[in-house]
Amino acid sequence: MVVQSKHFLNTSTSLVLDSLKGLCVLNPHLAIDPTTRVLHLANPDRSQVALVCGGGSGHEPSHSAFVGQGILSAAVCGNVFASPSAYQVRRAIDLVSNDAGTVIIVKNYTGDVLNFGLAKEQYAAIHPGKSDRVKFVIVGDDVAVGREQGRIVGRRGLAGVCLVYKIAGALAARGGSLDEVYAIAEQISSHLGTIGVGLEHCHVPGTAVPDTHLGNNELEIGLGIHNESGHRRVSPVPPLSELVLNLIQMITSTADPDRSFVPFKNDGTDCVVLLVNNLGGLSELELGAIVGEAKNALDKQGIKAMRVLAGSFMTSLNMPGFSITLLLLPGTEVDNAISTHFILSLLDDPTNAPGWKWSSKSEPKAITERTSLASVDTSPLSSESSLRAPDVRSFETAIERACDALLLAEDEITDMDKIAGDGDCGLTLSAGASSVLKVLSQGVIIGDDVVSSMIAISRVAEEKMGGTSGALYSIFFSSLAQALARSSAAVATTEVWSSALKSALARLYTYTRARPPSRTLIDPLTAFVDALPTGFEGAVLAVQDAAERTKDIEAKAGRSAYVEGDWLKGQKVPDPGAWGVKVIVEALAK
């Protein structure tokens, strides 16, 4: 895969500060010290414990977007993937200085620990009377690196730290003491496990595009949030259900002492908070599927998810990947002061921090699935018409050939649509072809009843293809069925088909403004209908010519109409929808 290396920015050096200023526009409760790049509460409650965190930028919304009532008091922002200096951190402590004390929370990376730790010690030296009013929490939740390999550096800090921020910050907002806030931060930190996976590394603005990257069918498990290589590479990319179950087991397994970091009992009594984190470049569509599979995997393990959170929490710029975090909640034997109920109530407390994601604040319920009333009816259709094909078997095999041809052409049509449209035409036609083959195999499409067969194809186009193409095909085949049903003939001859196709095209024209030449599927479809009365061979040639000529036609309809005309003509790419019609007709003619 190619690393996405283009970015929207003024300059790579100004990006961090520009982003922080944008957060202040978004949330008027925030303020910024531009010299030190510290984002902080504009009017903090100085009777409450302050929470200070930070690190390198590029992990947004961590850490700056979590500054807000009920989470963080201040965030210190270094350059991309680079720890801020001790001077910056000291400035943050001063900006939120208070009577109750300050808890500094850092991810376990050498630069962060050293610079934030140095700032704490310097602050204590400058303010000896407050030396005991600043506490230091290091969060390491990674489970990818075993104890032996990481015996010196320890576990890396990943998305789990966000749960520490939220829970400790909520307790501080309730008026918890310094010791209480520190204790719950340590408690949460010690019961976290996180594992990440990526399809590719990310690109740091202002740097060269990396030479090494993952293959097209390869992913990396256990990678870090600073482009560090992972625990292992896997190829081919496994199904999502298999991948997510493997990741969950890496967190929950206690079989290997070197990799067992969280004290799961795995006896059916474990309860967790599940956090599914977008590492920056993942689509919301994929993220939803991952959340569902993570819940399924926990159910299989006998682990109860008490809360589920999902979204971008700790990113790695534009990395196409995700991480899964589990917070193991206390059992009944734990002191009631830090009970499961207490932790969940803190997690549920409101906040105005712009980066914190919505959650249901309740235990997820079983998914209720209702059978669609509009599902494709796979029972043989009966029509009032008794119109049959001249050769029943040839009719059925011709439809099968057309579907097979569309499946083979999927990649070619998709490549065309990536240039001329939105990139989904090949997938749409392939979905329709696969579904037609299915109902064909079930005896729904039969040569003994061409009218019911056209109705079946119309239903498939409507329900399985979707989009503009699905609607066009569905209207056309539904209209074709109506026209065929009006025929008094017993056999669907070329003349019968020609008349019905002409009627169906006229009906289709009432729903679309596209007329030849339009650089759409209408072009070859119209050519076919017009030429068929003179013979099928000539109709095929007309379709081929019309589809080829879409390379040089200005788009007047369809998605191509939104693409710059001269550029599109220069690409010499035919319209993908038109090409799909060509593939179908050529297969029918064989």
pLDDT tens string for the chain (590 positions)? 667 788 999 999 999 999 999 999 999 999 999 999 999 999 999 999 999 999 999 999 999 999 999 999 999 999 999 999 999 999 999 999 999 999 999 999 999 999 999 999 999 999 999 999 999 999 999 999 888 887 788 899 999 999 999 999 999 999 999 999 999 999 999 999 999 999 998 989 988 877 667 888 999 999 889 888 788 999 999 999 999 999 999 999 999 888 899 999 999 999 999 999 999 999 999 999 999 999 999 999 999 999 999 999 999 999 999 999 999 999 865 555 689 999 999 999 999 999 999 999 999 988 877 655 444 444 544 556 679 999 999 999 999 999 999 999 999 999 998 887 778 899 999 999 999 999 999 999 999 999 999 999 999 999 999 888 899 999 999 999 999 999 999 999 999 999 999 999 999 999 999 999 999 999 999 999 999 999 999 999 999 999 999 998 876 655 555 555 666 667 788 999 999 999 999 999 98
Residue type, 20: L
Q: Nearest Cα to 273, choosing from 171, 140, 162?
A: 162
C-alpha to C-alpha distance for 432 and 462, rounded to whole angstroms: 9
Burial of 365 (0-12, 13-18, 19+ CB in 10 A): exposed
522-531 and 494-509 helices cross at what angle (nearest 10)?
140
Tell me, what's the pLDDT at 214? 85
Kindly state the DSSP code that residue 72 receives in the 8-state scheme.
B
Residue 275's DSSP bridge partners are 309, 325
Cβ burial of 569 (10 Å; 0-12, 13-18, 19+) is middle
**Direct distance between the N- and C-terminal alpha carbons of the chain, in angstroms, rounded to an integer:** 38
Tokens of 182: 């520190």
d(CA 543, CA 335): 77
Helices (H), 338-460: 340-348, 392-408, 410-420, 425-441, 450-460
Structure tokens at 152: 């010196």
Provide the residue type at 253 as one letter: S
- 3-class DSSP assignment, residue 194: strand
For residue 488 the two structure tokens come to 């008094």
What are the distances in angstroms from CA 128 to CA 125, 376, 378, 397?
A: 5, 76, 80, 89
Q: Which pLDDT does position 373 carry in this prediction?
A: 43
Tokens of 375: 């599902």
d(CA 242, CA 236): 12
Q: How far apart are CA 69 and CA 63, in angstroms?
A: 14
Write down the H helix ranges in 45-191.
86-95, 110-126, 161-173, 178-189
What DSSP character marks residue 588? H
3-state helix, strand, coil in the chain (%, to 5): 45, 15, 40
Q: Which two tokens stand for residue 161?
A: 């730290």
Residues carrying an active site annotation:
226
Strand partners, 102: 50, 134
Contacts of 94 (CB under 8 A, 6+ apart): none
Q: Do 220 and 229 contact (CB within 8 A), yes or no?
A: yes
Q: What is the DSSP letter of 544?
A: H
Of 148, 290, 274, 160, the residue nearest 219 (C-alpha): 290
Strand-pair partners of 522:
none
Cβ atoms of residues 79 and 16 within 8 Å: yes
Give the model's pLDDT for residue 558. 55
Specify the pLDDT at position 401.
97
| pLDDT of the residue at 333 | 55
pLDDT of residue 376: 45
Q: What pLDDT is stored for residue 368 in this prediction? A: 74
Q: What is the pLDDT of residue 75?
A: 98
Residue 316, number of CB atoms within 10 A of its CB: 26
175-179 contacts at long range (C-beta below 8 A, 24 or more positions apart) = 175/47, 175/48, 176/49, 177/49, 177/100, 177/101, 178/49, 178/100, 178/101, 178/102, 178/103, 178/133, 178/135
Q: Hey, what are 364's tokens? A: 């997820």
**Cα–Cα dist 175/412, whole Å:** 63
Can you tell me the distance from the alpha carbon of 240 to that of 288, in angstroms, rounded to the nearest whole number? 12
- Radius of gyration (Cα) for the chain, nearest Å? 31
Q: What pLDDT is attached to residue 421? A: 78
Report CA torsion sign: 389, 393, 399, 402. negative
| Alpha carbons 447 and 299: distance in angstroms, whole number | 48
